[in-house]
Amino acid sequence: MVMMLMKATAIANSNIALVKYWGKRNSDLMLPHNSSVSMTLDNLNTMTTVEFSENFSEYELKINGKTAKGEELKRVATHLDLLQDSSPQKRFAKIMSESNFPKKAGLASSASGFAALTLAGTKALGQNLTLKELSILSRRGSGSASRSILGGFVEWIKGSLLDGSDSHAIQIEEEGHWPELSMIVTIISTEEKKVSSRAGMSQTVKTSPFYDAWLDTIESDVEKMKQAITKKNFTLLGKIAENNALKMHATMHTTIPPILYWESGSLSIMKEVLKLREEGTECYFTMDAGPQVKILCQQKDLETIKSRVTELDLVKDIIICHPGGEARLIEDHLF
């Protein structure tokens, strides 16, 4: 009998939320309290190879060349078990994953990671799923991964059904729609964060007195952001994204105990962005669950802004990104 090779490799890009996801209404099914909008990034990605075999007796995971154990391995194993829910026989797998950026530093490594794992894992199992099905499954691994399945500009619709079958991402515009839109990721620290997004958002929902106020503003932010994207209105996009990020951080700052992802370097860059704007160079900042500041700008101003932030000695590195494509399968395996 010829044994079918149950192996596949996928690449998924990370994404940056322009209207953020922060808080779950159901943490088993990973259902969010609010819809979110993101841009998929061309230059931050994760490549993952998954191989299932009857001969394996456990899951084996390597991330960026290092064997992963504990919680990290458990999350991946749980996800691969989920992908096999409808299979008659459960198999273990070898998984190797490489990202071209530091993980757990607020650069959405779980987004590209779980999107690539879902695409490679389902393909290795012989399943050919739709983008909607892939988005729903990726969401179960990490909420923001639901958005990394798609390219360009994406909305993750929160949905309302109890089983989560209507909580998935859809494309607003494809990546070629707005190639001039640029993002400068400033790397301030590559240390792993102390409070994970998952723990942070749960604490925020439970204890921040501002959480309901945050939710009250989301629908309007999502609508305006979709308009800004479709009409390529940079000013509107930047204003909504910056304000939305600050509102999210205000809910984090007011939890008990407080969650402060900002470092002093983060604040310096945010102030530099405001200064550049006062001087007539239009740019806006956004921040996620980590100290890195991401600057949104137009291609024509990229060099000016890049040289200004490079001058700040607290910036360790910068990565330039533009709208990127959807998650895809590739022929070259990592092992």
The span from the CA of 80 to the CA of 60, in Å, is 12
- Give the integer Cα–Cα distance in Å for 304 and 182: 13
Torsion angle, alpha carbons of 120, 124, 125, 126, to 10: 100
If the CB atoms of residues 51 and 288 are measured against ligand 2P0, the closer one turns out to be: 288
Residues 149-208 that bind ligand 2P0 (CB under 6 A): 197-198
Which residue sits closest to ligand 2P0, CB atoms considered? 143
Structure tokens at 133: 């099905």
Query: What is the distance, to the nearest Å, from the Cα of residue 4 to the centroid of all Cα atoms in its chain?
Result: 33
Find where tokens 């999210």 sit: 248
Residues 7, 49 contacting (CB under 8 angstroms): yes
238 binds ligand 2P0 (CB under 6 A): no
In whole angstroms, what separates CA 210 from the centre of its chain?
Answer: 24
CA distance 322 to 324: 6
Q: Which two tokens stand for residue 121?
A: 């894992």
Q: Is 211 in the site for ligand 2P0 (CB under 6 A)?
A: no
Measured from the CB atom, is 175 or 288 closer to ligand 2P0?
288
Binding flag, residue 244, ligand 2P0 (CB under 6 A): no
Instruction: Give yes or no for residue 240 binding ligand 2P0 (CB under 6 A).
Output: no
To ligand 2P0, the closest distance from the beta carbon of 254 in angstroms equals 16
Minimum gap (Å) between residue 255 Cβ and ligand 2P0: 14
Q: Is residue 20 near ligand 2P0 by the rule CB under 6 A?
A: yes
Instruction: Select the residue interacting with ligand 2P0 from 12, 17, 295, 305 (CB under 6 A).
Output: 17
Site string for ligand 2P0, 128-147 (x = CB under 6 A): --------------xxx---
- Binding-residue pattern over the window 110 to 129 for ligand 2P0, x denoting contact by CB under 6 A: x-------------------
Task: For residue 79, report the phi and psi dihedrals to the nearest 5 degrees.
Answer: -70, -45
For the chain, the C-alpha Rg in angstroms (whole number) is 20
Q: Under the rule (CB under 6 A), what is the footprint of ligand 2P0?
A: 17, 20-22, 30, 36, 108, 110, 142-144, 197-198, 288-289
